[in-house]
Amino acid sequence: MTSPMVVIDRVTKSYGEVPVLRDINLEVAAGEVISLIGPSGSGKSTLLRCINHLERIQSGSITVAGELIGYRRVGNLAYEMPEKLIARQRARIGMVFQNFNLFGHMTALENVIEAPVQVLGIPRREAVERAGEILARVGLGDKLHTYPRMLSGGQQQRVAIARALAMKPRLILFDEPTSALDPELVGEVLDVMRALAAEGMTMMVVTHEMSFAREVCHRIAFMEAGRIVECGTPREVLDNSAFERTRAFLSKVH
Amino acid sequence: MTVLEAHSNSVADHRPSEEPRLTYVPAKAWGTRIAAVALLLVVVSFLWSIASNPNFGWTVVGEYLFDPRILSGLYLTLWLTLVTMVIGIVLGTVFAVMSMSGNVVIATIANAYIWFFRGTPVLVQLIFWYNLGALFPELSIGIPFTSLWISVPTNTAISPVMAAVLGLGLNEGAYMSEIIRSGLLAVDPGQRQAAKSLGMTSGRALWRIVLPQAMPIIVPPTGNQAIGMLKTSSLVSVIALSDLLYSVQTIYSRNYQTIPLLIVACLWYLLATTVFSLIQARVERHFGRSSLQASQARRARQ
Ligand SMILES: Nc1ncnc2c1ncn2[C@@H]1O[C@H](COP(=O)(O)OP(=O)(O)OP(=O)(O)O)[C@@H](O)[C@H]1O
Ligand SMILES: [Mg+2]
């Protein structure tokens, strides 16, 4: 049994007085694809943002590949790490956003090589070659020199996934990757994610695409009001949930 | 038969008619054309009345246009403008970033700087720096609580040129910081987040991702500031520096050819402004590459 990729242990987080995450416990195995579902405001995005320390948690701990995220542990004290070290941890955790967030002043290729060259120090020539391969893999081999605003939403999101992949991440966090897309463009992005799942990438996916969750995800976690209400296989959660809250939510989504 | 069927039938059934095709004639905007011609006449006759008027002293203008005193004044004006704009942009960037800091003390200090230097006349600031020696006879730098100190008399350290650079540069920094701040605010916060999630430090994210995208917003008002500085820098005459305007003033105070010499100054200011505008257009084009591709593609499709 390999050690889990992500361990979220008794995590709480609040904005001022308002609790957003309450006592979250979750383990994600290496190669596992887990989807987070739940009503708006339940804390799904916040949880993802805590995993790469874009947000601070107030208590508990988050570990990715055995490394405590954001802090250095000495006995029972956890000192927040300097920005450089946090950046180094983030470099190995991919993140894909609802609004793509491609760098608007850079072509697709430049978007993909930016972090490998600037952050990992990979020689430009090598980075360009690898970026070409990755973009071809997501079906954009002919769009290398196109700026984001000239790409469709689906194409932009695939560039964003390529940009995350170029950092050779151990884990990719997806925050509603298809919510901003026209319905006919959703499929092309989900296809790329399906292929990644098949290759054994560890992925945490916040989504409203129940068919994707059912087909591709190994487990589904249902969140509400900052808690994980239940977590199980798609069958357990989507078809035979023991929880009234889950069934109520699902009946609204379908 | 439903409306939908009727519609689709009529489209399918329509036969091209046999009539000759229409030739379209665009409306002639006669009013606009007449106004344009009238305006042109006004402008030409105005220019002619200036050019042919002996009171403007065009021969004197020609005589003094390349006078060495005026050229050295022009040199000082250009040099001061460039140096103070560079200082202004650097300081402006630093204070813009500081004023957006999460740390209250840092943000407050930056805002106080901006408040003070925008709130007092730059003329007063120039005179202040020029007279610094009266307030602090000696300037010292060193390490506190040790004997490692160097002191120099203020009047040797702060020459008039130094006072001008300090006065204009610090003032410009306050204006530039507001321009740069508005540029930084216009960039979607998602850009910074994406940069961070890829392992960039906030400094690198600012330099590589946010600033370049803020440039299209920052450049046009910065060009304005530079052109304004060409003329604001003429205030340095109060601290005995001989810039372009001051050097023509010295000449006409002796030969009384006031108007021709002011025209000389204006011609040089206009030339400098033209060059600055060209540079600005260049820089704007450079930072607009991503939208340029979009507009080119749009044109190609039409
Ligand atoms: N920066 C912030 N400051 C204060 N409150 C915030 C902030 N960000 C999020 N919240 C609050 O935290 C709660 C959880 O937000 P979060 O974005 O994690 O929800 P979500 O489950 O992703 O919802 P959605 O499906 O709408 O994206 C919400 O009540 C939200 O109002
Ligand atoms: Mg969300």
> Would you say residue B135 lies in a domain?
yes
> Would you say residue B199 lies in a domain?
yes
Nearest CA-CA distance, residue A238 and chain B, Å: 31
Q: Return d(Cα A59, Cα A57) in angstroms, integer.
A: 6
Residue keyed to tokens 């487990």:
A219
Ion ligand 2: protein residues whose beta carbon lies under 5 Å: A 45
What pLDDT was estimated at residue A253? Answer: 79
The CATH number assigned to the domain holding B135 equals 1.10.3720.10
Q: Return d(Cα A185, Cα A189) in angstroms, integer.
A: 7
Minimal-distance CA residue to ligand 1 atom 17:
A45
What pLDDT was estimated at residue A240? Answer: 85
Q: Return d(Cα B247, Cα A125) in angstroms, integer.
A: 56
Helices and strands counted in chain A (H then E): 9, 12
What pLDDT was estimated at residue A217? Answer: 95
Minimal-distance CA residue to ligand 1 atom 7:
A15
Q: Where residue B11 falls among pLDDT bands split at 50, 70, 90?
A: low
Tell me which of B132 and A129 has the higher pLDDT. Answer: A129
Minimal-distance CA residue to ligand 1 atom 13:
A41
> Would you say residue B296 lies in a domain?
no
Measured in Å, residue A97 CA sits from the centre of ligand 2 at: 10
Report, as an integer, the average pLDDT of B114-135.
92
Give residue limits of the domains in chain A: 104-168
A184: left (phi over 0), alpha (psi -120 to 50) or beta: alpha
Per-residue pLDDT of chain A (254 residues; tens, 9 = 90+): 578 999 999 999 999 899 999 999 999 999 999 999 999 999 999 999 999 999 999 999 999 999 999 999 999 899 999 999 999 999 999 999 999 999 999 999 999 999 999 999 999 999 999 999 999 999 999 999 999 999 999 999 999 999 999 999 999 999 999 999 999 999 999 999 999 999 999 999 999 999 999 999 999 999 999 999 999 999 999 988 888 888 889 888 76
What pLDDT was estimated at residue B57? Answer: 86
Tokens representing B293 are: 């591709």
Interface of A with B (CB under 8 A): 52, 54, 83-84, 87-95, 97, 99, 101-106, 114-115, 118-120, 146-150, 160, 163-164, 167
> Would you say residue B5 lies in a domain?
no
pLDDT one-digit tens code per residue, B170-190: 999 999 999 999 999 999 999
From A45, A50, A176, A178, give the residue whose CB has the most ligand 1 atoms within 8 Å, as the site to mutate.
A45
> Would you say residue B24 lies in a domain?
no
Contacts of A170 in chain B (CB under 8 A): none
Q: Where residue B40 falls among pLDDT bands split at 50, 70, 90?
A: very high
> Would you say residue B295 lies in a domain?
no
B292 pLDDT higher than 70: no
- CA nearest A238: which of A223, A226, A220, A224? A220
Instruction: List the A219-224 sheet strands across, edge first.
Output: A93-96, A171-175, A202-206, A33-37, A219-224, A227-232
**Model confidence, pTM:** 0.85
Q: Taking CB atoms and an 8 Å limit, are B201 and A105 in contact across chains?
A: no
Measured in Å, residue A49 CA sits from the centre of ligand 2 at: 10
Of B191, B195, B199, the CB nearest to A167: B199
Which own/partner contact pairs does B266-269 have at CB distance under 8 Å and 24+ positions apart?
A: B267/B61, B267/B65, B268/B70, B268/B74, B268/B244, B269/B230, B269/B231, B269/B244
Query: For chain B, what is the mean pLDDT?
Result: 89
Max CA distance (Å), chain B: 103
Q: Return d(Cα A113, Cα A119) in angstroms, integer.
A: 10
Please give the residue range of the domain that contains residue B179: 58-286
Query: From the candidates B197, B200, B295, B299, which should be mutated to test the interface with A, based on the most A CB atoms within 10 A?
Result: B197
Nearest CA in chain B to A99: B190
